[in-house]
Structure formats: structure tokens, C-alpha cells
Amino acid sequence: MLNRYLVKKFSVRCVANLTTFLILFFPVLNFNTSEAADEIIIGYFNLEPHIISDSTDKNPSGAAVEFFDKHIKPDLNVTVKWRYAPLKRILHNIEIGKYDAGLLFGHKSEREKIAFYPRYPYGETRTCLLVMKNHPLKTVKSVEDILKYKIGHHLGAILTPFMRDERITYENISGNDVVRRNLLKLQSGRIDAVYRPVCSSGIYIAGQIGLKEEVRSVYLPEHMEIYTIFSKKSPRGRIMLEKYNKAIEKIVTDSPSGDRIIKIYNEILERYMK
């Protein structure tokens, strides 16, 4: 009889504790779910004309931002909070889940450890070296063509496969306005070339600082695809990835290879390059 009473008392206590837990837990769960559905934080860095910003809290502009706002955001049903930061800090914040996404990134295998890549890129860029017009380098067919030159690059930025040869001599800089600073170093003769995985950004900024007629681009024998990436650590990351993929798939229904997306993006980009 006593044993039966103790079992009954224990069962009642367990039910009471479980009920209390559920009452406390479900509002938190509902809050997180609602938050994930209503808001997304996207990190970005300045890469004109794809992303144009004065490094303040103002929303950025540029071709990548316009593409996202017009062709992706309407299907996400979210409020976007833009967060400006240097490239390495964006990747760190994506890794720890502080940012839900990053706007413009090339594919890099080590980044797959911290971020989801969508099924399709939204753009494809030419990679190049920017040199002064009187420089002897005219074409690049193999890595041996560039081994004797000192090449300016952005520390932490992507190196496309052709440019990963350990024999290449880089002079890396970090911080803000790295493209402008590298172009000025090129003009002063401190480096021989500037590597741009996104060549259009180098050409655009050369024009902005009055060097368009003094430099030229030497294209490398490769292309690079660009993506919006989503944090694996963020609870919103996977949700937004699925919605992003659906938005992209609406564009590629008649173009399974993804060519239509890249065509749309290039049309937007051309307007900013003028």
C-alpha cells in the first residue's frame, strides 16, 4: 500500500515538473521560431560596384544588393538587417552564428565548414591581374608567366585555384579600401600587379580614383562563381538557405544550368559599370 502511494506521488510530481518545463520552454521556442522567420542579419564588405557602402550603418547599394532586393528578398518574407564589417570579421561572425548570412563570397572548401552554399551562384566573374599600361605582361597562360612579379592581394580574401601556387609572391594588406590602396601601390611601383578574383571591382575602382586610363587588366585562365552564404551555426541559416534556394529555382525553371541567373545579374552589373 505504501509503495503504491509513493509511486503515485512520484508520478504526480513528474507530471507537474514536466508541465512547468513546457510552460517555460515553449514561449522561448516560439520566440526563436518567429525571430528566425521575421529577421535576418547579413554581413557585407565594400566591393564596388557589387556592394557600395560608406562603411556606416546605412544600407548598402550596388549590383549584388539590387539583385538580392529584387529577386531574392521578396520570397524570404524577412526584414534584412545589414551589418558592415571587414571580410575576416564577417567570416568569424558567420562561424559563431552572429551573422545569418554573408552577401558576396566565392566558393572555398574551408568555408563549407562554417557556411551553407546555395545550389546556384548568382554571378560569375572573371579573375585578373591589374597592371600599369606599360607593364610587359600581356597574357597569362600558365603560372610560370607571373612568378617573377610581386602581386598585391587582400589578406583573407579568396584565392582562386590558378593563384594558389606556393611559388607566387604576394604582398598582402588588410583592413578597409584594400583595392584602392593596392592600386595606389601599383601606381607608385611598390608592387607589379594587383590580383582581383572579381576583376570588375578593380576596373570600377580604378575609374573612381582616376587611374582607368593608366591601368589595364590581364585576364587569368579561369572564372569564379559568387554566392550568398548562410551560417551553419545560426538557427536562421538553414531556414533562409531553403527559402533562398526556392527563390533562385523560380528564376532557373527554364534554365537548369543557372545561366539565366547570371545573365540577370550581369545586366544589373553593367548599369553600375557605366
Kindly provide the residue ranges of all beta strands, DSSP E only, lying in 68-177, ordered along the sequence.
79-84, 101-106, 115-116, 123-132, 150-154, 169-173
- pLDDT values of the chain reduced to their tens digit, one per residue, 274 residues: 444 444 444 444 544 454 444 444 444 444 344 444 588 999 998 889 999 986 665 789 999 999 999 999 999 999 999 999 988 899 999 999 999 999 999 998 899 999 999 999 998 889 999 999 999 999 999 999 999 999 999 887 888 999 999 999 999 998 878 899 999 999 999 999 999 999 999 999 999 999 999 999 999 999 989 999 999 999 999 999 999 999 988 887 755 555 788 889 999 999 998 8
Which grid cell sits at 20? 512547468
Q: Alpha helices, DSSP H only, in the chain?
A: 2-38, 63-67, 73-76, 87-96, 178-188, 199-208, 237-251, 259-273
Q: Assign 3-class secondary structure to 206-232.
A: HHHCCCCCCEEEEEEEEEEEEEEEEEC
The Cα–Cα gap between 217 and 225 comes to 19
Rg, Å, the chain Cα set: 24
Which grid cell sits at 190? 611598390
Of the candidates 181, 200, 201, 189, which has an alpha carbon nearest to the alpha carbon of residue 131? 189
Domains detected in the chain:
36-119+226-273 (3.40.190.10), 124-224 (3.40.190.10)
Q: Quote the pTM value.
A: 0.76
Strand 39-44 relative to strand 79-84: parallel, antiparallel, unpaired? parallel
The per-residue b/e assignment along 146-172, b for 16 or more CB within 10 angstroms, e otherwise, is beebebbbbeebbbbebbeeeebeeee
